[in-house]
Amino acid sequence: MPHGPLIDTHQHPVPDYYARALASVGITGSGENPWPEWSIQKQLDLMGELNIKAVVNSVASPGAYFGDIDKAIAIARECNEGSAKMVADRPHQFGAFGLLPLPDVQAAAKEAAYALDTLKLDGICLLTHTDKRHLGHPDEDELYAELDKRKAVVFVHPNRPPFVDDLPVQIWASIIEYPFETTRVAAYLIYHEYMRKYPNI
């Protein structure tokens, strides 16, 4: 059925530098899916095929942190600067959400400020959890305060829980666990009154 034109706020580029950085720690895809053969031209071709006039890109799961915070900071910075270049090259077709190096809250707050104030990205992509901490944890208040101060748009994206591989029934995490992850974070945010504390996010 014909439709559109559309604006898609949920597309994930896989630039070479991100794939290479994750390959160095043994990660070759997101969840059960290997990385697609992504390129800017392939993304533009898909947009044309589906009558999508503009997209907001985000580098999302599995994120930037895999046990080494310095590496996470470097990955987030390279992804954010790469995203800003994509936007600058095609400002009427691309927007972008920034990636942050959680679980280091101070580093994440600093990168959020750089992504929003200097690179002028459209918002921030936060994963439902990083390491063992979910969004809505009081330890992250410093980050939320920075986002609130900037009236930041925040896109929450589910991340694959580590326990999935131990479940007796193997079903793709994207089918069951991703909705559970998103619901869990929504409950945490409500329970800890984050919408009241940070109403500008």
Q: What pLDDT digit, counting tens, does each position of 41-86 carry? A: 999 999 999 999 999 999 988 999 999 999 999 999 999 999 999 9
Question: 3-class DSSP state for residue 182?
Answer: helix
Alpha-carbon distance of 123 to 80, in angstroms, equals 11
Q: How far apart are the first and last CA of the chain?
A: 36
Where does the chain show beta strands of DSSP type E?
A: 6-11, 29-30, 33-34, 52-58, 94-99, 123-127, 129-130, 133-134, 154-157
Query: Which pLDDT value is given to residue 177?
Result: 83
Return the residue matching tokens 């987030």.
76
Residue 1's pLDDT band (cuts 50, 70, 90):
low
Query: Which pLDDT value is given to residue 173?
Result: 66
Q: Which pTM was predicted?
A: 0.92
By the 8 A CB rule, do 55 and 48 touch? Answer: no
Residue 169 per-residue DSSP state: S
Token pair in block for residue 198:
């940070």
Burial class (CB in 10 A: 0-12, 13-18, 19+), 35: middle
